[in-house]
Structure 1
Amino acid sequence: MKGDFSRASFDPRHHFSQVLLQQGRVTLDADPNEQGAILLHLLRTLARDVFGPYAAPAGTPGFGLTLEQRDGKRSLRIGAGRYYVDGVLCECDGSDYLSQPHFIPAPANDQPGSGDPLRSWLESSSNQDDSRFWVYLDVWERHLTAVEMPQLREVALGGPDTCSRRQVIWQVRALELETIRDRLEERIEVLKERAEQTQDEAERERLKQEIERLQQGLDQLDEDYRSACPAPLLLFDRQPPKLAAQLQELPRLDDPCVTDPDSAYRGAENHLYRVEIHRGNDNGNVGATFKWSRDNGSVLTRWIGGGGDKLEVANARDFRERQWVEITDEQDDLLGRPGQLSQISGVEGNTLTLTQAQGRSPNATTKVRRWDHVGAGDIVLVDGAVPVDKPDDGKPGKPGEWYWIALEDGIQVRFAADGEYRSGDYWLIPARVATGNIEWPRNGGVAELRPPLGVEHRYAPLGFVGLNVDGMEGVDTCTCVVYPDRSCGMQERFDDAVSGDNASGTVKAVKRAPQNTAVTVKKTAATKPKRKEK
Structure 2
Amino acid sequence: MTLDISGRTFDPRDNHNELLLAQGKLTLDSEQNEAALARDRRWRVETMDLVGRAGYPAWLPDSFRITIGAGGGLQIGVGRMYVDGFLAENHGLPAAEGGTEDFDAPHAELRSSTAVPFDRQPYLPGGSAPDPTAGDVLVYLDVWRREVDHLKDPSLVEPAVGVDTAGRIQTVWQVRALGVPEGVTCATPDDEIDAWQAEIQPSTIRLTTLLVPVADPGNPCDIPPGQRLRTTENRTYRLATHGLHADGRPLLKWSRTNGSVATRVTTLDSATQITVAEVARDDVHRFAPGDWFEMIDDRLEFAGMPGLMRMVETADPATGLITFQGPVPAGTFPANADGVPDPDRNLRIIRWDQKGEVRASGGALLEDLDNPLGPGVFPVPPAGEFVELEAGIAVEVSFAPGPQKVRVDDHWVFRARAATGTIEILNTAPPVDTHHHHARLAVVEGGAGGWIEPIEDCRNPIDTDEECCCTFVVAPGESIQQAIDQLPPSGGCICLKPGTHAPQQTLVLGRSGVTLHGEAKGVVVQAPRGDPALRITGTAREPAARNRIATITFVGDDVLAGNGGLLDVSGADDLVVSDCRFSAAPEPVGIAIRIAASDEVTVRDCRIDSAVTGIYVTDSSGDIVVRDCGIETGRVDGGPGLVGIGMDRATGPIEVSGCTIRNGIAGIVVNDDPGGTPFSLAFRSRVTDCTVECAEAPEGIPPGVAIGIDMAAGMAEVRGNLVRYPGQGHVGIRLAAARSSASGNRCLHVGRVPGAATIGIVVGASDPNLDIPPQVEDVEVSGNVVEGPQSGIVALNTQECRITGNHVGGGGGEAAAPGIFAQDCTGLDIAGNDIGDSSVGIGIVQGGRCRIADNRIERGGFGVVVMNQDAPTVTGNRLRQPSRGGILVAAATARAVIGGNRVLNAGFAAPIGTGIGCYLVLGETAVTGNEVMDTGQGPDGQASNIAWGIFGDLVLEALVAGNLVTYAGGQTRDVANEDRALRYRGLLEASVVLADRRIVLGFPIKILGNSFTGSGATALVEILSQQLTDTANIRFERVTFSDNYCMHFSLPPSDNRATVSLTGRHAAVVGNQIKSLVGEYFPVNLNFMDATYVGNVAENVPVQGGFVPTPTNSFNLDT
Common fold, TM-score beyond 0.5?
yes
Alignment partners' CA distance in 1, 2:376 and 2:270: 23
Report the Cα distance in structure 1 between the residues aligned to 2:461 and 2:143, rounded to whole angstroms: 18
Distance in 2 between residues matched to 1:27 and 1:130, nearest whole Å: 57
Q: Which residue of 2 aligns with 1:139?
A: 143
Of the three residues 446, 453, 456, the one matched with 1:473 is: 453
RMSD: 3.0
Equivalent residue number for residue 278 of structure 2: 315
| Counterpart residue number, 1:456 | 435
> Is the 8 Å Cα contact of residues 518 and 551 (structure 2) preserved in structure 1?
no
CA 377–459 in structure 1, closer or farther in 2 if over 3 Å, else same = closer
Measure, in 2, the Cα distance between the counterparts of 1:476 and 1:377.
Answer: 52
2: CA distance, partners of 1:142 / 1:313: 23
Kept in 2, the 8 Å contact 1:248–1:263? The answer is: no
Q: Is the 2:311–2:376 Cα contact (8 Å) retained in structure 1?
A: no
The aligned amino acid for 1:78 is I
In the other structure, the counterpart of 1:326 is 294
Residues 229 and 517 of structure 1: is their aligned pair in 2 closer, same or farther, counting only changes over 3 Å? closer
- Residue 311 (structure 1) shift: 1.1
Residue 521 of structure 1 is aligned with which of 551, 554, 558?
A: 551
- Aligned mate of 1:373, from 332, 337, 354: 354
1:135/1:417 Cα in 2 relative to 1: closer, same or farther (>3 Å)? closer
Q: Return the alpha-carbon distance in structure 2 between the equivalents of residues 227 and 517 of structure 1.
A: 12
Of structures 1 and 2, the one with the larger relative CO (CA 8 A, separation 6+) is 1
**Distance in 2 separating the partners of 1:368 and 1:429:** 22
For residues 344 and 42 of structure 1, the distance between their equivalents in structure 2, rounded to whole angstroms, comes to 44
1:222-253 deviation digits (Å, cap 9, x = unpaired): 5x63432755442222561101011113589x
Counterpart CA distance in 1 for 2:190 and 2:164 is: 43
Q: Distance in 1 between matches of 2:134 and 2:351?
A: 49
Query: Shift in Å at residue 435 of structure 1?
Result: 0.6
Deviation at 1:261, TM superposition (A): 5.5
Q: Supply the AA of the counterpart residue of 2:348.
A: K
Aligned-pair CA distance for 1:140: 0.7
Q: Distance in 2 between matches of 1:457 and 1:41?
A: 16
Q: Secondary structure at the match of 1:38?
A: helix
**One-letter amino acid matched to 1:46:** E
Answer yes or no: is 1:75 the counterpart of 2:73: yes
Spell out, residue by residue over 1:312-362, the C-alpha distance to the aligned partner (whole angstroms, 9 max, x if none): 100001111100000011101111110110001111231111122222453
Please give the per-residue CA displacement for 1:37-77, whole angstroms capped at 9, x wherever unaligned: 00000000011111111011222241111123x3xx40222
The alpha-carbon distance between structure 1 residues 385 and 343, as it changes in their structure 2 partners (threshold 3 A), is closer
Q: Quick one: distance in 2 between partners of 1:3 and 1:294?
A: 12
Tell me the secondary structure at the aligned position of residue 156 of structure 1: coil
Could you tell me how far apart the structure 2 residues matched to 1:135 and 1:332 are? 21
1:390 aligns with 2:381: yes
The answer as to whether partners of 2:292 and 2:310 remain within 8 angstroms in 1 is yes
Q: How many pairs does the alignment contain? A: 416
Identity %: 29
Report the counterpart of residue 205 of structure 2 in structure 1.
241
Which residue matches 1:90?
88
What is the identity, as a one-letter code, of the residue corresponding to 1:294? R
Name the larger-Rg structure.
2
Could you say if the C-alpha distance between residues 239 and 428 of structure 1 is closer, same or farther in structure 2, counting changes exceeding 3 Å? closer
Code of the aligned partner of 2:266: I
Residue 466 (structure 1) shift: 1.9
Q: 5+ unaligned residues in a row in structure 1: which ranges? A: 108-115, 122-128, 179-220, 253-259, 392-400, 442-447, 489-511, 530-534
Q: Any idea what SS the aligned residue of 2:357 has?
A: coil
1:264 to 2:228 alignment: yes
2: CA distance, partners of 1:416 / 1:98:
38
Aligned partner of residue 347 in structure 1, secondary structure: strand
Q: Flag the 1:226–1:86 CA change in 2: closer, same or farther, 3 A.
A: closer
CA–CA distance in structure 2, aligned partners of residues 277 and 518 of structure 1: 39
Contact 1:278–1:289 (CA under 8 A) maintained in structure 2: yes
* Superposed displacement of residue 484, structure 1: 1.5
TM-score by length of 2: 0.35
SS at match of 1:7: coil
Q: 2:27 matched to 1:21? A: no
CA contact (8 A) 1:301 1:314 kept: yes
Distance in 1, Cα, partners of 2:83 & 2:147:
19
Q: Distance between the aligned counterparts of 2:551 and 2:420, measured in 1? A: 56
- CA change 1:266–1:337 in 2 (3 A) is same
Q: Which residue of 2 aligns with 1:411?
A: 393
Which residue in the other structure is 2:172 paired with? 169
Give the Cα–Cα distance (whole angstroms) in 2 for the partners of residues 513 and 4 of structure 1. Answer: 57
Tell me the secondary structure at the aligned position of residue 380 of structure 1. strand
User: Cα offset for 1:92?
Assistant: 1.0
Change (3 A) 1:372 1:251: closer
Q: Tell me, yes or no, if structure 1 residue 54 matches structure 2 residue 57.
A: no
C-alpha distance in 1, partners of 2:518/2:14? Answer: 28
Q: Does 1:102 align with 2:123?
A: yes
**More strand per residue: 1 or 2?**
2
Cα distance in 2 for residues equivalent to 1:324 and 1:146: 22
Question: Cα offset for 1:32?
Answer: 1.2
Q: One-letter code of the match for 2:357?
A: A
Tell me the residue number matched to 1:185. none
Counterpart code for 1:455: T
Partners of 2:242 and 2:429 lie apart in 1 by 18
Q: CA deviation at 1:385?
A: 3.7
Q: CA–CA distance in 1 between the matches of 2:395 and 2:212?
A: 9
Equivalent position SS for 1:416: strand
Amino acid at match of 2:276: V
What CA distance in whole angstroms lies between the structure 2 residues aligned with 1:328 and 1:463? Answer: 32
Which position in structure 1 is the counterpart of 2:419?
434
Query: Which residue type is aligned with residue 458 of structure 1?
Result: H
Where does residue 327 of structure 2 map in the other structure? 357
User: Cα–Cα, structure 1 residues 513 and 234, in superposed 2: closer, same or farther, change >3 Å?
Assistant: farther
Partner-residue secondary structure (3-state), 2:290:
coil
Deviation larger for 420-429 or 359-368: 359-368
Alignment partners' CA distance in 2, 1:425 and 1:279: 9
Q: Distance in 2 between matches of 1:154 and 1:513?
A: 58
When residues 381 and 279 of structure 1 are mapped into structure 2, their CA distance, relative to the original with a 3 A threshold, is farther
Tell me if structure 2 keeps the 8 A contact 1:229–1:461: no
- Distance across 1 between alignment mates of 2:377 and 2:392: 17
TM-score (norm 1): 0.72
Which residue of structure 2 lines up, in the alignment, with residue 215 of structure 1? none
Report how far residue 11 of structure 1 moved: 0.9
1:178-257 aligned at under 5 Å gives the runs 178=181, 225-228=185-188, 232=193, 233-235=196-198, 236-238=200-202, 240-250=204-214
The SS at the match of 1:155 is coil
Query: What secondary structure is seen at the aligned counterpart in 1 of 2:160?
Result: helix
Which residue is 2:1071 aligned to? none
What is the deviation of 1:390? 2.3
1:287 aligned to which of 244, 249, 252: 249
Measured in 2, the distance between the counterparts of 1:368 and 1:133 equals: 36
Q: More helix per residue: 1 or 2?
A: 1
- Go from structure 1 to structure 2 and tell me whether the alpha carbon gap of 1:356 and 1:74 turns closer, same or farther (over 3 Å shift): same
Contact conserved, 2:214 with 2:392, CA < 8 A, in 1?
no
**Contact 2:209/2:424 (<8 A) preserved:** no
Q: CA deviation at 1:96?
A: 1.4
